[in-house]
C-alpha cells in the first residue's frame, strides 16, 4: 500500500527545501526526496563551499598586500587540509540548519531515487535497494536541479580532468590549471586557485568572459583579473585535451594564439562549459510530462507544468540557473498548491552575482540589451578609484554603472564590479521592482563613507551632477537644418 501525503517534493536543493518548508508552514503533510544530501548542489558542492574557498583566497590576498597598509606579516601558506576542514564545517552547518528547519516545519526527508508512476504518485528506490511508493493528495514538485555538462572527448577522472564538483573538494592545489570556460563557474574557480598559488589560464571560445553581461563590466573584470595574474584567452577554443604523465596536455587555437595551434601542459584542467538540467531517472513520461530540446520542463507563472498536479522549479525550468530564482519559485509553487491562486513568479528582474575578487553583480538590462530593445539611454558611471571608502579598504579597481531610460529616467539596469557587490546590488533590485528613476536614487541620502554611496554618485553622474568625479561635458545640440 502506498504512503499517503499531501505533497511530494523531489529534490532537496534551494528550490526544493524552500517549497517543502513553505508547504509545511501552510499546514501540508510533505515528504522531500533527494538521492544526495539535503541542500543539493548549492549547499554541498556549489554556492556555499565555493564562497568559503573564495573567502579563504580573499583573506590570503589581504595578507599578501598587508605591507601596503603598514602591517608586517608573514606570507600566507595554504594548508590544504585546514582549508578543506573549514569548508566542510561551513557545509555541515548549513545542511544541519536545513535539516532542523525540516523538523521544525514537519517535513519528512528520505534519501533515494524518485521516479514517477503516475501524475500523483512516485516510486522511491532507497539506498538499501528497497522500494516504496508514495501518493500525493494535492501535488508533486520537481526540483532536481542541474549538473555540470560533461564533454565526452575529455573524460573526467576527478584528478587531472575535473568538473566543478571536483574542484570544490580541493584534493590538491595544482601549480598550473587550465580552466575551460569563461563563465561564472570558470572565473570563480580561476580566482580560488590563483589565490591558492596556481598559475591559471582561462580559455573562452566567445569574444568576452561572462557572456551576456554588460560588455564594459565584463572588460573591467577581465582587466582586473589579468592584473591579478589570471591569463585569459578570448575567442579561443581547446582543440584537444589529453592526459600526459601526471597532468594534461591541451591544444588551444584562436585569437589568443594568432590562429595557430599551441600545445601547453597543465597539472590539471577544469571543464566549466555549462550545466544541464537533471531529469534522468524521473520517468517523466509515466506522469504525462516531457522536456524541450534543451532538456527543460515548461511551466506557467505559478510553476505548474502541463500536468495540473505537477509543478517544476529551479534549474530544470530554464535560465537563469540561479539558487535564489529556485528559492522564490519554490515558495510560489508551495503557496499555489496550498490554495493561494494569486501567488505567481513575476519578477521585474533577477540579480546575478559572480564571486570573483572583486565581485560582479548585475540586475536588469545591460547597455547592449537596452540599446537592442530600442531605448534611448542615459548612463551614469562611478569608478571605485574615486570612492573614499574604497580607499580606506585599500581597494582601487571597480566600477558602478547605471543604465537608464533617457525619456522617462527610469532605471533599466545596475551593474557593479566591486568588493561586496553581491550586497550592493540589492539596491538595484529594489529600485527596479519599485520603478525608481535615476533621479530618485541620486536624491536619496546614502550613508558616508560607504561603498553604497557610489551608487548615488553614479546616479548623479547620469545627470551631470556628480560631486566626486568630473562630469562629462554635455553634448552640443544637433544642428538644425536650414529651411527655405
Mean pLDDT of 300-329: 96
Domain boundaries, the chain: 3-148+276-337, 161-273, 352-462
Give per-residue pLDDT as tens, 183-193. Answer: 999 999 999 99
For the cut 60, the answer to whether the pLDDT of residue 484 exceeds it is: no
Q: The CATH number of 352-462 is which of 1.10.3720.10, 3.30.450.20, 3.30.390.30, 3.30.43.10? A: 3.30.390.30
pLDDT at 42: 84
pLDDT at 117: 96
| Cα distance between residue 398 and residue 382, in whole Å | 9
pLDDT tier for residue 254 given thresholds of 50, 70 and 90: very high
pLDDT tier for residue 372 given thresholds of 50, 70 and 90: very high
Which string of DSSP letters, residue by residue, matches 348-364?
Answer: S---EEE-SSSEEEEEE
pLDDT tier for residue 1 given thresholds of 50, 70 and 90: low
| Cα distance between residue 70 and residue 81, in whole Å | 30
| 15-29, 48-62, 337-351, 413-427: range with lowest mean pLDDT | 48-62
| 3-state SS assignment for residue 141 | strand
Q: Which residues contact 89 (CB under 8 A, 6 or more apart)?
A: none
State the CATH class of domain 161-273: alpha beta
Q: Do the Cβ atoms of 184 and 353 come closer than 8 Å?
A: no
Q: First-to-last CA distance in the chain?
A: 92
Closest CA to 135 of 147, 119, 149: 119
Closest CA to 116 of 129, 128, 93, 133: 133
Q: Do the Cβ atoms of 176 and 198 come closer than 8 Å?
A: yes
Give per-residue pLDDT as tens, 396-412. Answer: 999 999 999 999 999 99
Prediction pTM value: 0.92
| 3-state SS assignment for residue 18 | helix
Catalytic residues: 448
| 71-80, 228-237, 252-261, 421-430: range with lowest mean pLDDT | 71-80
pLDDT at 172: 84
Does 3-148+276-337 match 352-462 in CATH topology?
A: no
For the cut 90, the answer to whether the pLDDT of residue 41 exceeds it is: no
Give the long-range contacts of residues 302-309, CB within 8 A, separation 24 or more. Answer: 302/332, 302/333, 302/336, 302/343, 302/344, 302/345, 303/329, 303/332, 303/333, 303/336, 303/345, 304/333, 304/336, 305/142, 307/119, 308/119, 309/119, 309/120, 309/136, 309/138, 309/139, 309/140
Q: Do the Cβ atoms of 198 and 192 come closer than 8 Å?
A: no
Give per-residue pLDDT as tens, 93-118. Answer: 999 999 999 999 999 999 999 999 99
Give the strands of the sheet with 268-271, arranged side by side: 161-162, 268-271, 176-180, 199-203, 231-233
More confident residue, 77 or 481: 77
For the cut 80, the answer to whether the pLDDT of residue 150 exceeds it is: yes
Q: The CATH number of 3-148+276-337 is which of 3.50.50.60, 3.40.50.300, 3.40.50.720, 3.30.460.10? A: 3.50.50.60
Give per-residue pLDDT as tens, 161-177. Answer: 999 989 988 778 899 99
Q: The cell 519528512 sits on which residue?
A: 108
Amino acid at each position: 500500500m502506498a504512503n499517503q501525503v499531501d505533497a511530494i517534493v523531489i529534490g532537496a536543493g534551494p528550490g526544493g527545501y524552500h517549497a517543502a518548508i513553505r508547504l509545511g508552514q501552510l499546514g501540508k503533510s510533505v515528504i522531500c526526496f533527494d538521492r544526495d544530501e539535503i541542500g543539493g548542489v548549492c549547499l554541498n558542492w556549489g554556492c556555499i563551499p565555493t564562497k568559503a574557498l573564495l573567502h579563504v583566497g580573499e583573506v590570503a590576498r589581504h595578507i599578501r598586500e598587508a605591507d601596503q597598509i603598514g602591517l608586517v606579516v608573514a606570507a600566507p601558506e595554504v594548508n590544504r587540509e585546514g582549508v578543506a576542514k573549514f569548508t566542510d564545517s561551513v557545509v555541515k552547518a548549513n545542511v544541519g540548519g536545513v535539516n532542523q528547519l525540516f523538523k521544525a516545519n514537519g517535513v519528512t526527508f528520505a534519501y533515494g531515487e524518485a521516479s514517477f508512476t503516475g501524475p500523483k504518485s512516485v516510486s522511491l528506490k532507497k539506498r538499501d535497494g528497497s522500494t516504496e511508493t508514495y501518493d500525493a493528495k494535492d501535488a508533486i514538485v520537481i526540483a532536481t536541479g542541474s549538473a555540470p555538462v560533461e564533454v565526452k572527448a575529455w573524460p573526467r577522472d576527478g584528478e587531472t580532468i575535473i568538473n566543478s564538483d571536483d574542484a570544490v573538494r580541493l584534493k590538491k592545489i595544482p601549480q598550473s590549471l587550465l580552466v575551460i570556460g569563461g563563465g561564472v563557474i570558470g572565473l570563480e574557480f580561476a580566482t580560488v586557485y590563483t589565490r591558492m598559488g596556481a598559475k591559471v589560464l582561462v580559455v573562452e571560445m566567445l569574444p568576452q568572459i561572462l557572456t551576456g553581461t554588460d560588455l564594459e563590466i565584463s572588460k573591467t573584470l577581465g582587466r582586473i583579473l589579468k592584473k591579478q595574474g589570471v591569463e585569459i584567452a578570448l575567442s579561443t577554443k581547446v582543440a584537444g585535451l589529453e592526459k600526459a604523465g601526471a597532468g594534461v596536455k591541451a591544444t588551444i587555437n584562436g585569437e589568443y594564439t594568432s590562429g595557430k595551434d599551441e600545445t601547453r601542459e597543465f597539472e590539471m584542467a577544469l571543464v566549466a562549459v555549462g550545466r544541464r538540467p537533471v531529469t534522468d531517472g524521473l520517468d517523466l513520461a509515466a506522469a504525462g510530462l516531457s522536456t524541450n530540446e534543451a532538456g527543460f520542463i515548461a511551466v506557467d507563472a505559478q510553476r505548474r507544468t502541463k500536468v495540473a498536479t505537477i509543478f517544476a522549479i529551479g534549474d530544470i525550468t530554464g535560465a537563469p540557473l540561479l539558487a535564489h530564482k529556485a528559492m522564490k519559485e519554490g515558495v510560489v509553487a508551495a503557496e499555489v498548491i496550498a490554495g493561494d491562486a494569486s501567488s505567481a513568479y513575476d519578477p521585474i528582474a533577477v540579480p546575478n552575482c559572480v564571486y570573483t575578487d572583486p565581485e560582479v553583480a548585475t540586475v536588469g538590462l545591460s547597455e547592449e540589451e537596452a540599446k537592442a530593445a530600442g531605448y534611448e539611454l542615459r548612463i551614469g558611471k562611478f569608478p571605485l578609484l574615486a570612492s573614499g571608502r574604497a580607499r580606506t579598504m585599500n581597494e582601487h579597481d571597480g566600477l558602478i554603472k547605471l543604465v537608464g531610460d533617457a525619456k522617462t529616467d527610469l532605471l533599466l539596469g545596475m551593474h557593479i564590479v566591486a568588493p561586496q557587490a553581491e550586497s550592493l546590488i540589492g539596491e538595484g533590485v529594489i529600485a527596479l521592482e519599485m520603478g525608481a528613476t535615476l533621479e530618485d536614487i541620486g536624491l536619496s541620502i546614502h550613508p558616508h563613507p560607504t561603498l553604497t554611496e557610489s551608487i548615488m554618485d553614479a546616479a548623479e553622474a547620469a545627470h551631470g551632477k556628480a560631486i566626486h568625479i568630473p562630469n562629462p561635458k554635455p553634448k552640443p545640440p544637433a544642428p538644425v537644418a536650414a529651411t527655405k
